[in-house]
């Protein structure tokens, strides 16, 4: 599959498998939804989304890979929230401008309790890593089940 031209540029996917296209579509859906809620212009995301949907529509729907696409959307949503939590922690840590992260205590997201940065960031970082591994496996699964021979996106 070649990259589809869209207004304001082209998609980032070249010769992508169905798993990669599905992954990008789930991310674009999140960006469009959040952008619209924030009153931002999401035209470029919508154009890319439409171009990629055209590629999906040209394929035969297979229930095996479609179930994995739904799981992929859920994993991408969890990643989105985990990354937002990490960004919030980073911003609060940067405001304190303390030389050692071990000395800094910040308010944990959502619970109002002061905790050491490392006690919050490490579990969150490991969670993001695990979710990214799940995401990569789902993309590979969709590619396999759709008959796309695309290589792995990540290096081990």
Domain boundaries, the chain: 5-145
The angle formed by the CA atoms of residues 108, 128 and 64, to the nearest 5 degrees, is 135
d(CA 150, CA 133): 17
The predicted pLDDT at position 115 comes to: 67
Q: Give me the pLDDT at residue 6, please.
A: 43
pLDDT at 60 over 80: no
The pLDDT score that the predictor gives to residue 140 is 93
Structural contact between residues 120 and 103, judged by C-beta atoms closer than 8 angstroms: no
- Does residue 155 carry a pLDDT above 70? no
Instruction: List CB contacts of 52: < 8 A, sequence separation 6 or more.
Output: 4, 11, 13, 21, 24, 25, 28
Q: How far apart are CA 141 and CA 144, in angstroms?
A: 5
Contact 18, 56 (CB under 8 A): yes
Q: What is the pTM of this model?
A: 0.69
* Amino acid 88: pLDDT: 84
Average of per-residue pLDDT values in the chain: 79
CB atoms within 10 A of CB 97: 7
pLDDT in tens, 96-122: 655 555 555 665 555 555 667 778 888
The pLDDT assigned to 8 comes to: 46
For residues 105 and 92, the answer to whether their CB atoms sit within 8 Å is no
State residue 75's pLDDT score.
93
The mean pLDDT of 47-68, rounded to a whole number, is 81
Q: Which of 45, 47, 51 is nearest to 21 (CA)?
A: 51
Query: Who's near 91: CB < 8 A, 6+ residues apart?
Result: none
Task: Evaluate if residue 52 carries a pLDDT over 60.
Answer: yes
Residue-level pLDDT at 147: 82
């Amino acid at each position: 599959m070649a990259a589809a031209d869209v207004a304001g540029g082209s998609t980032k996917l070249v010769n992508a498998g169905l798993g990669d296209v599905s992954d990008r579509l789930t991310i674009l859906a999140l960006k469009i939804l959040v952008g619209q809620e924030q009153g931002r212009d999401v035209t470029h995301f919508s154009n890319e989304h439409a171009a990629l949907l055209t590629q999906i529509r040209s394929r035969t729907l297979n229930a095996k890979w479609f179930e994995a696409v739904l799981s992929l959307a859920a994993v991408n949503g969890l990643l989105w929230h985990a990354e937002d939590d990490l960004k919030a922690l980073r911003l609060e840590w940067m405001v304190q401008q303390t030389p050692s992260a071990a000395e800094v205590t910040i308010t944990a997201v959502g619970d109002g309790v002061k905790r050491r940065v490392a006690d919050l960031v490490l579990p969150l970082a490991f969670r993001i890593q695990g979710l990214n591994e799940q995401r990569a496996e789902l993309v590979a699964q969709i590619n396999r089940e759709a008959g796309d021979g695309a290589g792995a996106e990540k290096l081990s």
